Amino acid sequence: KINITNSYDWQYRQNLDDADEEFDNGRITDALEKYRKIIRNHEKSVRAKYGIAKSLDLTAELQKSNELLVKVIEAYINTLLTPDVPDTLFKAAAERTINRMRFKGDYESTIGIQNLLINKFPNDVTYRNDLIVTLFMLNRISEAKTKLEDILLIWPNNGLAMVYYGFVLKQIGNLSEAVYYLSKGIESNEDGTQDGRFYFHLGDALQKLKKDEDARQVYRKGVEKGLFLSEVQRSLYNVNRLTGRYWWTKEQTTYQSFFRKLERNWKQIRNEGMMLLKDKYNEFVEESEQLREMGDWRQYELFSRGIRKSQCNKAPITCALISDFPPAAGCRRGQTKFSLMEANTHVWPHCGPTNCRLRAHLGLIVPTNVSIRVASEHRNWKEGEIMIFDDSFEHEVWHNGTSPRLILIVDVWHPELTLEELGEGRNR
């Protein structure tokens, strides 16, 4: 055990080995006792501290105890803060600390541990890239950007740093530089770079730069690698066996009676939407800028991720209709919302996040010269009529008319998902 034993621990290494043996044989209480005994005589024993942390760790896992987990993390941190920790032991303890913090859902705290690793191993780019992942999870994009610029100064050809940097540039709308870094990073083929998200954003940046042929090539490569279901179906959270088709009839969804009920009540739904329009700039929230080339596009959300929102108070009839139908009300991967689009709007081609839902549109106020394309098939809304598509397929919307368009969007679970897959989501 040379690589985890510093010169101080070396003096009583036999005692440490004995305690480790208890641990390795699953006698955790005995091991813990032995480690603690060592600590009483050798306060600075890093191996004993690590042994205590590991013993508590195993106990916490067996007991599924969150309270103990806090102590486990503290015990690992105490190990890390001991003087003269051997590298191997430091890495193992730090990595486990981070793992346990993430398990607890505490991403913020991992930053401190990741900085300890970076300071101790300044030449290892892995730890720096790992910190970027944490910053992404915390949505601290500008901090990630600065740090990535530092990384790329020292390691200009690091593939993972390049895809991360490209991803950041894409988020802030710097499309051509994003393309440069995403493609170079992907080309490196390094560990972690062959991720659907990077292919997704590279292709998207290319499409927005009107380099459609290049985008298609990226998508084809993504399909070959098994990252996308198809060139035109690029959702990243998928259940692979589900039927995928661009447009669905009401009958194909098996939800026809629900959809017919919405159609029968369309005027009431429209009335509720029109009331909201009176104060539309306050009631409706802007859709993501990133999805629009130009124009004005807003939503009023009623249900989101399977939860009925307080906005329902201003659209009680619509919400009652949805509440009554669990595949819509309980659709944890979707929403129900009024969607308002002003004239002269173009929504970029894009794909939804998952193939587990279908998206129904009920036309409420439909002027001329508005249309939607799903993959290769264009359609037009009609007032009082439902149309249904799978929004994991590439779709694009144009409003070249002269007055606003209003529809109700209702997401429903894909009908082929099993009750088990839906969990609490669907009760019928």
Q: Which residues bind ligand LMR (CB under 6 A)?
A: 339, 341, 347, 359, 372, 391, 395, 397, 409
- Least Cβ distance, residue 389 to ligand LMR (angstroms): 8
Rounded to 5°, the CA angle 16-45-126 comes to: 100
322 binds, among Mn ion, ligand LMR, none (CB under 5 to 8 A by kind): none
For the CB of residue 232, give the shortest distance to ligand LMR in the complex, in Å: 14
Neighbour tally for 421: CB within 10 Å = 14
For ligand LMR, give the closer residue by CB, 132 or 388.
388
- Report the residue number, 204 or 391, with the smaller CB distance to Mn ion: 391
Q: Residue 406 binds which entry of Mn ion, ligand LMR, none, with Cβ cut-offs from 5 to 8 Å by kind? A: none
Considering CB distances under 5 to 8 angstroms, the limit depending on partner class, which of Mn ion, ligand LMR, none binds residue 339?
ligand LMR
CB-nearer residue toward ligand LMR: 186 or 340: 340
First to last CA, the chain: 59
34 or 270: whose CB is closer to ligand LMR?
270
Contact 334, 364 (CB under 8 A): no
* Helices vs. strands in the chain: H and E counts, helices first: 20, 13
Residue nearest to ligand LMR (CB): 339
Phi-psi region of 294 (alpha: psi -120 to 50; beta: other; left: phi over 0): beta
Report the nearest approach of ligand LMR to the CB of residue 339 (Å).
3
Q: To the nearest whole angstrom, how small is the minimum distance from the Cβ of residue 149 to ligand LMR? A: 34
Give the relative orientation of helices 87-103 and 46-63 as an angle to the nearest 10 degrees. Answer: 30
Is the C-alpha dihedral spanning 76, 80, 81, 85 positive or negative? positive
Is beta strand 297-304 parallel, antiparallel or unpaired with respect to 307-308? Answer: antiparallel
- Run of H or E including 93: helix 87-103
Distances (CA, A) of 24 to 35, 61, 93, 322, 425: 13, 16, 17, 56, 43
**What stretches of 266-413 adopt beta strand conformation (E)?**
285-286, 292-294, 297-304, 307-308, 335-341, 345-350, 357-365, 370-374, 377-379, 386-389, 395-399, 405-413
The distance of closest approach from Cβ of residue 359 to ligand LMR in the complex, given in angstroms and rounded to an integer, is 6
Cα–Cα distance for residue pair 146/149, rounded to 1 Å: 5
Q: Which does 57 bind (CB under 5 to 8 A by kind): ligand LMR, Mn ion, none?
A: none
Q: Which is nearer to ligand LMR, 9 or 296 (CB)?
A: 296
Which is nearest to 386 in space by CA: 361, 367, 410? 361
Chosen from ligand LMR, Mn ion, none, partner binding at 341 (C-beta under 5 to 8 Å by type): ligand LMR
Residues of this chain, 359-398, that bind Mn ion according to CB under 5 A: 391
Q: State in angstroms the smallest separation of the CB of 209 from ligand LMR.
A: 20
Among Mn ion, ligand LMR, none, the one that 242 touches (CB under a kind-dependent 5 to 8 A) is none
Task: Please state the closest distance from residue 408 (CB atom) to ligand LMR, in A.
Answer: 10
Residue (46 or 372) nearer to ligand LMR, CB: 372
Question: Which is closer to Mn ion, CB of 13 or CB of 332?
Answer: 332
Closest residue to Mn ion, judged by C-beta, is: 391
Q: Nearest distance from residue 374's CB to ligand LMR, in Å?
A: 9
Pairing type for strands 377-379 and 405-413 reads: unpaired
Closer CB to ligand LMR, 180 or 348, in the complex:
348
Residues at the site binding Mn ion, with contacts judged by CB under 5 A:
391
